[in-house]
Amino acid sequence: MNKTWIFATMALALGTSCSKDKGIDIDDSSRQEILLGTGSTVSVSRASRGGGAVGGLTGANNWNGETVYVYGITDNDDDKAPINGVKAVAPKDVETGKLSWAADEPVQHFYYEGNDKYNFYAVHVDGAAGEDADLKIGDLENLEKNGYSIPVTIDGTQDLMVAMPNKTADIEDNAEVEDITNLYSAWSSRRGVVPNLVFNHLLCRLNFLAKCGNKEEQIPSGDEALKITNITVKQVVNKGDIVVIPAAKQEPDAEVTSEDQVFIASTAPEDKGDFPVKQKGSSNVLEDLKPVSLTKDAIEVGEDVLVTPSTVFKISVTASQTVNGNVETRTQEFDLLASNVKDPEDKPLKEFKKGEIYNITIKLYKEEEIIIECSLTPWKDGGSGELDEETINAFD
């Protein structure tokens, strides 16, 4: 379920001079514009807060106009972050296509400048940082020491993702570039090196399904159908920090990798909340769940809930049914243990992991009316007899 942004390049004839610095030959006759595109696919529907889960399993994994924030950090102390939290927009309904700078961004073009070498990062916060949040790095002077993180508040509808390129993978099968020393630059761009920003999910995804467990001929329908009216993941972490740009490592020659881009969940007791299952409404906006009638077959209920990884989740399910004209509701809570869930190899899980989707099927049974039946057992002829006062002195 990884996603990839591709930094493509395009040559523009602007001059004829050339220069040499830091061991890199720079040909100023072709200036390199940084263009963005997509190389793999994800899909999402927009929402009032979060857009919901981005992408799906292999074969159903499309971008759909998501917003991401891009960072281009250089080794030039005078211009540390030429691309500083710049908003970009993915294409729609395609597996590979151009990623455009957002229309409200003042700068619509970025170029590799001189001998500068870049590291690229990106994040998809999906509204979790707040409305109109400024996601630019403020403390550039201490960026290497402290890194850059974004505080977020989530409610189960936001898919948090981070990205950075794999330099070794980006020069694979490139005969002109033998090592990663000069990545990413105008020099490497002219030699066909494309920095691919591979997006990784930071949360895990719970997909709820439900069915009626009664025998098919006993399953109620119509106005008396058994319905689910609410599913809620109870008291899960709702605040934390996304590490977009990890701090430099202290060990000699130790490189920062995508494994260092993490979601640090809050440990404060008050930073927890209930995440109810939502459904798509008009214009694909997420809204409260409407009652879902259950049948013998498992059907999906609402949209997936995105939560921080854990070993157990407390789930609350509310169902309703009309019995003899009266609407009866009941709520049950249960613990969803990782050890009770099987992986694709039919092995119990140890934990619910980030970047993984879990299908959770809830089986409910209709309310059974208490009916008391009675029957009349017929008398049996047990025989006959006679009392004669002449032969039996009954009054002695």
User: Would you write out the chain's pLDDT as a tens digit for each of its 396 residues?
Assistant: 444 333 332 222 222 223 333 344 434 456 677 654 443 322 222 222 345 666 555 555 677 788 889 999 999 989 999 999 999 887 777 665 566 788 787 776 888 888 899 999 999 998 899 887 889 999 999 999 999 999 999 999 999 999 888 899 889 989 999 999 999 988 888 888 888 888 888 999 999 999 898 888 888 888 889 999 999 999 999 999 999 999 999 888 888 999 999 999 999 999 999 999 999 888 778 899 999 999 999 999 999 999 999 999 999 999 998 888 888 898 989 898 888 888 888 888 899 999 888 888 888 888 755 454 555 556 656 555 555 555 555 444
Domain shared by 213 and 195, yes or no: no
Element (H, E) at 336: strand 326-337
Asked if residues 219 and 295 have their Cβ atoms less than 8 Å apart, the reply is yes
Strands 97-101 and 30-38: antiparallel
Residue 231 CB: number of other CB atoms within 10 A?
24
Provide the token pair at 193.
């090196």
- Residue 213: the pLDDT is 87
Within-domain flag for 142:
yes
Give the contacts of 392 (CB within 8 A, at least 6 positions apart): none
> Which pLDDT score, from 0 to 100, does residue 307 have?
96
**Which stretches within the chain are classed as H helix?**
143-146, 167-170, 186-190
Q: Same domain for 317 and 171?
A: no
The domain total for the chain is 2
Question: What local confidence, expressed as pLDDT, does residue 303 receive?
Answer: 93
Are residues 231 and 345 both part of a single domain?
yes
Query: Are 40 and 175 part of one and the same domain?
Result: yes
- Are 155 and 255 contained in the same domain? no
- 150 and 249 part of one domain: no
Residue 322 falls inside a structural domain: yes
Residues pairing with 243 in the sheet:
149
In this structure, the answer to whether residues 10 and 156 fall within a common structural domain is: yes
- Does 381 map to a domain? no
Chain-centroid distance of CA 317 in Å reads 22
Both 24 and 93 in one domain: the answer is yes
SS3 343: coil
Residue 255 confidence (pLDDT): 87
The answer to whether residues 69 and 135 touch, using CB atoms and an 8 Å cutoff, is: yes
Question: Is residue 391 assigned to a domain?
Answer: no
User: How is residue 345 written in tokens?
Assistant: 């190899």
User: Which amino acid would we find at residue 368?
Assistant: E
37 and 121 in a single domain? The answer is: yes
Domain identity same for 80 and 126: yes
225 and 129 within one domain: no
**Residue 35 token pair:** 């263009």
What is the pLDDT, as a whole number, of residue 386? 58
In the prediction, which pLDDT does 379 show?
61
d(CA 82, CA 319): 54
Q: Which residues pair with 322 in a beta bridge?
A: 327
- Beta bridge mates, 231: 317
In a domain, 382, yes or no: no
> Domain end: 201, 219, 253, which one?
201
- The reported pLDDT for the residue numbered 56 is 56
What pLDDT is recorded for position 88? 87
In a domain, residue 267? The reply is yes
Q: Is position 376 within any domain?
A: no
Q: Is residue 387 part of a domain?
A: no
- For 290, the domain range is 204-364
Distance CA 360, CA 343 (A): 12
281 and 233 in a common domain: yes
Alpha helix (H) ranges present in 178-331? 186-190
Residues in the chain: 396
- The pLDDT of residue 154 is 97
Cβ atoms of 342 and 381 closer than 8 Å? no
pLDDT at 282: 80
Picking from 138, 154, 192, the residue whose alpha carbon sits closest to that of residue 170 is: 192
Could you give phi then psi for residue 284, rounded to 5 degrees? Answer: 60, 20
The CATH number of residue 281's host domain is: 2.60.40
pLDDT at 44: 26
Those residues whose C-beta lies under 8 Å from the C-beta of residue 47, and which sit 6 or more positions away, are 127, 157, 278, 284, 285, 286
